[in-house]
Structure 1
């Protein structure tokens, strides 16, 4: 068990710092494997969408084709553009892996920087060539829709290159093996600074989850439908359903990649050090004489302080948060017990898998059976990882809560 310092703060207020249970080692996939799985999922999802649109009736005896898909109707440069966009992170990860293998630490940073910009230039050149080729056969609206996610990216991330090529990017702070580090400090100022850094990292990862899942569904599901020629008739309802399934499957998969249980435990530990202030009714005479809140004090459970004319009561083993700060309030509520997050994700994933199996039961066309079988099978893999994280975090935090209650009873 990791023991934090119980030393009193600068103003003399003493509070027992939280005790953290060592988190079990859970096997985690490498970044390269994660990007490979994500790429294969979206690539096959896009392939199934093209199958829904350009399928043939090759099994009929009177049919004049032996091909499953009418390949000649598909815009080849659109396919190249889609594959390049969907594989950009896998290719970038492979490039960095090769650099890690052939160069030492002294040379690595400069080589990676040069390789990143060279890779960016080559990628943009290929995409521009594809856009020009597509534009010669399409209109301005088609060109805009093809580039629209890139415009959205610039609005969300600015002109940063790294988030475009990596799902998880480090923000300012201390990191180890790609995860932010938690410092079990007894200094309230240090704790609040750490919470701010972790909050920025979480927000950055969450933006990546939303952007990645939407872009993958956009290029893997919507773009093939939009660029289908007018004389092609396909089941619009089924194609729309396929887009939603790609988005939901990509969202949960990317969430598991960006927020593993080990990551949520880091935020959980910081949330325990942060604590929570609950506003009280200042007009009530039942409240004891409050203390004046100090930014350098760590307050024990049930402490009452006055801040900007309002009364606040501390909740949690120790409270170092800023009273009335909504950001600190949300951080504690969200990560005080991260198992609730994994429970919600598990319920969402179970519903998704069961719904796909139900539709598969009533599917009669071969391409519907093929696409649903692929999506359901892939989502089973994600469901396993989410359920594993939920069961582990639930057991660990239940034991931690029991120990914390015993310590608070002994301290009081």
Structure 2
């Protein structure tokens, strides 16, 4: 078609990169009918060579600023302190007295003699085991040679497992003498361990180390991980990009499971267990204590998510999503549009049209390495192409939680309920600060990055068409 211009990517396909070799680009625009190159298009041809050579296909990343993150030992110490406070507040809500009344027989604000001491020991042991494990691990890492670490850590883990299980079993034995034995079997043994086994399987390490670290092999740690933080490789190899996305997706899911289980276990042990083992003759405000456990659960979710997904970690996922790109399925097919067969070794530029599994797809993004029709790739790009949406959802949850607690606090008449809600608010304010800070930083950085990506895409599209 003389005088017309076609999409070079649609006619000949983009240039793929397999290893370090690029395939050549044929029939590029900028030649006259005799096949000779016109002088006015020499500059465009150079730009086309850069685009399909891969230089312009690489997304531009903006360095993320350093954002303080709580260390693992600091976070576990804070979690232990907050869990103890939440358990004490729940016991206060259940065992409070009316000691201020003139004819009251109570001299204290709490009926301490009704509280099961073995329940208190059970709660403290369960909540403190992860802090003790983290403390011992860091002490061993600092004080012992590297060659001894695997053996010492294994011995320490086994010893700590036996100690914790012995204390918990001793507590449950004495609790079974005071309470219904079926409560112990169902609510503690069956329900708690069933959730754990369904989530992680039989792994004693995770009983203590419900952290955000990702365990991997020695060689994999050297190339993809540094101090348990995943690294991003700005590769132009489509297969390497998909492999990196698969690793990051697995890591994200493991962090998600650990955060959900940790928040659930904290809320269940500190908020629900005191309700289960209340003496049958004691009357208390059941809706309020259930509300306390639920609000504490939501607060723990936000805290564990903020710890598991810091700004730099979200930035690694974001960079991988930019390299991955995505495919949009074309519903209204045009028979005159030529679609290339999708090739897994090719890094496709924006606007490429391919055929895969009898469907036609169009690429979106500066470059696309994803597999057309792969839901895992599509969801990964949708979540992390703009990580501010994920942080905005977390910030919205935390703001809603704080707002609801303020409204409840304004309508609360009893002193114990006021104290309970105020302390929960103070705890959630710290999480709100961290989440809001992360969101504002990401919003400013990625807004500037989006402007740069749009300019790069505007440069690529007119030349490639």
TM-score by length of structure 2 reads: 0.84
CA distance in 2, matches of 1:273, 1:89: 37
Q: Deviations over 1:54-102 (max 9, x none)?
A: 1122233433333221111111111111111112211111111221232
Q: Do the aligned residues in 1 keep the contact of 2:16 with 2:345 (CA within 8 Å)?
A: no
CA distance in 2, matches of 1:25, 1:343: 20
Establish whether residue 176 from structure 1 lines up as the match of residue 245 from structure 2.
Answer: no
TM-score by length of structure 1 reads: 0.95
Aligned to 2:199: 156
Structure 2 alignment gaps of length 5 or more: 1-14, 24-51
CA distance in 1, matches of 2:88, 2:342: 60
Aligned to 2:86: 45
Deviation at 1:178, TM superposition (A): 2.4
Higher alpha-carbon deviation: 136-145 or 382-391:
136-145
Q: Do the aligned residues in 2 keep the contact of 1:282 with 1:310 (CA within 8 Å)?
A: no
CA distance in 2, matches of 1:210, 1:360: 27
CA distance in 1, matches of 2:328, 2:202: 40
Aligned to 2:133: 92
Aligned to 2:116: 75
Aligned to 2:439: 390
Establish whether residue 333 from structure 1 lines up as the match of residue 382 from structure 2.
Answer: yes
CA distance in 2, matches of 1:395, 1:47: 41
Look up the SS of the partner of 2:166 in the other structure. Answer: helix
CA distance in 2, matches of 1:303, 1:283: 15
2:66 aligned to 25, 49, 74, which one? 25
Q: Deviations over 1:99-134 (max 9, x none)?
A: 123212222232112211211111111111111111
Establish whether residue 108 from structure 1 lines up as the match of residue 116 from structure 2.
Answer: no
2:188 aligned to 121, 143, 146, which one? 146
Higher alpha-carbon deviation: 113-122 or 229-238:
113-122
Q: Deviations over 1:123-153 (max 9, x none)?
A: 1111111111112222232112122212210
2:235 aligned to 157, 180, 185, which one? 185
1:379 aligned to 414, 428, 432, which one? 428
Higher alpha-carbon deviation: 178-187 or 290-299:
178-187
Deviation at 1:175, TM superposition (A): 1.8
Aligned to 1:355: 404
Change (3 A) 1:171 1:101: closer
Structure 1 alignment gaps of length 5 or more: 1-6
Q: Do the aligned residues in 2 keep the contact of 1:302 with 1:315 (CA within 8 Å)?
A: yes
Runs of 4+ with >6 A deviation: none
Aligned to 1:244: 294
Q: Do the aligned residues in 2 keep the contact of 1:210 with 1:251 (CA within 8 Å)?
A: yes
CA distance in 2, matches of 1:55, 1:94: 35
| Coordinate RMSD, CA, aligned | 1.7
Establish whether residue 295 from structure 1 lines up as the match of residue 338 from structure 2.
Answer: no
Q: Do the aligned residues in 1 keep the contact of 2:16 with 2:348 (CA within 8 Å)?
A: no
Q: Do the aligned residues in 1 keep the contact of 2:213 with 2:229 (CA within 8 Å)?
A: no
Establish whether residue 320 from structure 1 lines up as the match of residue 369 from structure 2.
Answer: yes
Q: Do the aligned residues in 2 keep the contact of 1:77 with 1:130 (CA within 8 Å)?
A: yes
Establish whether residue 131 from structure 1 lines up as the match of residue 176 from structure 2.
Answer: no
Q: Do the aligned residues in 2 keep the contact of 1:293 with 1:305 (CA within 8 Å)?
A: yes
Q: Do the aligned residues in 2 keep the contact of 1:276 with 1:319 (CA within 8 Å)?
A: yes
Q: Do the aligned residues in 2 keep the contact of 1:171 with 1:200 (CA within 8 Å)?
A: no
Establish whether residue 34 from structure 1 lines up as the match of residue 83 from structure 2.
Answer: no
Deviation at 1:281, TM superposition (A): 2.5
Q: Do the aligned residues in 2 keep the contact of 1:317 with 1:404 (CA within 8 Å)?
A: yes
Q: Do the aligned residues in 1 keep the contact of 2:90 with 2:292 (CA within 8 Å)?
A: yes
2:326 aligned to 251, 273, 276, which one? 276
Aligned to 1:209: 259
Aligned to 2:107: 66
CA distance in 2, matches of 1:18, 1:135: 62
Q: Deviations over 1:376-412 (max 9, x none)?
A: 1111110010000100011111111111111122223
